[in-house]
Chains A and B, each alone.
Chain A
Amino acid sequence: MSAAARLCLDAVTLGRLMPMFLWLDTDGMIRAMGPTLTKLVGADAVGAHASDHIRMEGCGGTEAQLWQMAQDPERARRIKLRLKAHPDCVLRGHAVPIGDATCGPSGGVGILVALSFGIGLIAAVRAHDLTDADFAPTDMAMELLFLNESRSGVMAELRALNERLEDARREAEAQAMSDPLTGLANRRALEQELERVVALAARGGSPFALAHIDLDHFKEVNDTLGHAAGDGVLARAAEILREETRRSDMVARIGGDEFVMVLRGTVSRPRLKALGERIIARLETAELADGQPCRVSASMGVAISSDYRPPEAERMLADADAALYVSKRAGRGCCTVAEGPRVPGGPVGGVAAPRAAEA
């Protein structure tokens, strides 16, 4: 009984069950379509040749091939059709041969194709203004749309959360790396930067200069005008140092009135000396926000990485420091560029205090 049971469906009923069905006769003519597919292809396609409206994906695509595939249960399992009216819309489907010769001329002979949107669903719903009435209740379309939208919502939340965390991390990092009074880098940041530029220079990267600056007469300002004025002077000095350097340089405050600058790519002695003198001149004439003169000067010592093979941070810092004391002893308010160790073709030997360049 069950093997012989036959199901007679008219196209309207079939369309209610499968709004995206496609029925071709043995000649490849479209006999009927479900209502949703009709929306996409157009009602006038009924009676026309399927190849006028759809193309089989992946195999040149004639209905003869479709017919062949439909005969083969293995191959027909998953076919892809492209609508000529909407070339960006690929439908996924399943084709089965139906009926037989005994059905007579009005019978349901041909190929029945069940179609769905697959992953192109969202684009298709948008392009064709589809509503939930266009999908069979068994279709997972609603779930896919729901999931897509909830996923977008969760992703947006995650992105926002990540941005907040990243901001907090940057903030914490910046705080750990900067001097709260002047906003300059602190000693820890300087050490990291030195490690970096030394490694770069050792690998043939650009050389750099290290300048050690100590404000002169700062203690007097602090003692006579008070700490607030002292803080103002430090902040103003920091501004000047920043203005006289480039973005790729680093200016650090490493203690009370001591600063270190890492100057990338600047190794010409005369230019470094000129820079130092310009900074000192600006510091000597600097004023606080209220117009009060800062009444400080500065002593500077500079070491240049290309004098060292290979450059070493500690040694350069010590030499810049020694050059700074040469400046102090020379009466303050001047800049000394260290001569650097003599390197007559060999590794750097123990070199005593650098000689001062003429002031």
Chain B
Amino acid sequence: MHGIVNRSIQQFIVDVYGASLWAEIAVLVGAPADGFEALLQYDDTMTLALIETAALRLGRRREAFLEDLGAHLISRETLRRLLRFGGMDYADFLFSLNELQGRAQMALPDLELPSLSLRARADGQFTLEVRAETEGWGAVFTGLLRAMADDYGALVLIEMVSAEPPRQGRPGIERVEITLHEARFASGRRFDLVLPQGVAS
């Protein structure tokens, strides 16, 4: 798994539960003493062990842990901004998810994100199919999409509805249903296309 995934999990645990809990989990899973490097690759088993151990230690279901992780990703300005380039409003943003894998690979060619496909079922109703070799991305996106709805000021209902686990080299499919009640429910957070000069996100 790409180091940026492991680092995001590390950052989430440090930000929300504190550095000492992270240190404890890091020892349990054998993570590098100085933490993960965002631009190196790590074995998938490390990522899976990290998620399992953290969820266990926090007494949370794996899915709930991953949903919180997905929501927390948006609290990082860099990622929030990159996702906001997806569209002017929340519906636009939802459709940009179809290109997310490609966009991510433009930035980090060796980052393997799940393949996403969004279908509109009816007015304001969408189904997101998340295809990946590892289970859990559906939960991450559930949390992420909720946080992005807040960011856009949209009123939505988001739920994970079904999952087919990966088997024999075939990717698993997790389905997330999104009901968009109101695209402009609140004002949302500000997004300028470029940052002021000299400001890094």
Footprint of B on A, CB under 8 Å? 122, 125-126, 129-133, 142-143, 145-147, 149-154, 156-158, 161, 164
The interface residues of chain B lying within 8 Å CB-to-CB of A157 are: 38-39
The interface residues of chain B lying within 8 Å CB-to-CB of A150 are: 82, 106-108
Answer yes or no: B196 CB below 8 A from chain A CBs.
yes
Instruction: Supply 30 A–B pairs (Cβ within 8 Å), ascending by A.
Output: A125-B193, A125-B194, A126-B194, A126-B196, A131-B88, A132-B87, A132-B88, A132-B193, A142-B85, A145-B194, A146-B82, A146-B103, A147-B106, A149-B81, A149-B82, A149-B85, A149-B194, A150-B82, A150-B107, A150-B108, A152-B201, A153-B82, A153-B201, A154-B39, A154-B107, A154-B108, A157-B38, A157-B39, A161-B37, A164-B34
The interface residues of chain A lying within 8 Å CB-to-CB of B106 are: 143, 146-147, 150
The interface residues of chain A lying within 8 Å CB-to-CB of B103 are: 143, 146
Q: Using A151-B107, A152-B201 as known contacts, list a sample of 10 further A-B pairs with CB atoms less than 8 Å apart, ordered by residue number in A.
A: A125-B193, A125-B194, A126-B197, A130-B193, A146-B82, A149-B78, A149-B201, A153-B201, A156-B200, A157-B38
Q: Would you call B194 and A153 a contact (CB within 8 A)?
A: no
Whole-angstrom CA separation of A239 from B37 in the bound complex: 39
Whole-angstrom CA separation of A153 from B103 in the bound complex: 14
Q: From known contacts A151-B107, A154-B39, A157-B38, infer whether A146 and B85 are also in contact, taking CB-CB under 8 Å.
A: yes
The interface residues of chain B lying within 8 Å CB-to-CB of A146 are: 82, 85, 103, 106-107
Whole-angstrom CA separation of A132 from B194 in the bound complex: 11
Consensus secondary structure, chain B interface: loop
Q: Would you call A131 and B39 a contact (CB within 8 A)?
A: no
Name B38's closest neighbour in chain A (CB-CB): A157
Most A CB contacts (10 A, CB to CB) among B88, B192, B194, B201 go to B194
Using an 8 Å CB-CB cutoff, how does the interface string of B103-115 with A read, 1 for contact, 0 for none? 1001110000000
Q: Would you call B193 and A145 a contact (CB within 8 A)?
A: yes
Name A158's closest neighbour in chain B (CB-CB): B39
Q: Would you call A133 and B85 a contact (CB within 8 A)?
A: no
The interface residues of chain B lying within 8 Å CB-to-CB of A164 are: 34
Whole-angstrom CA separation of A126 from B37 in the bound complex: 32
Q: Would you call A153 and B85 a contact (CB within 8 A)?
A: no
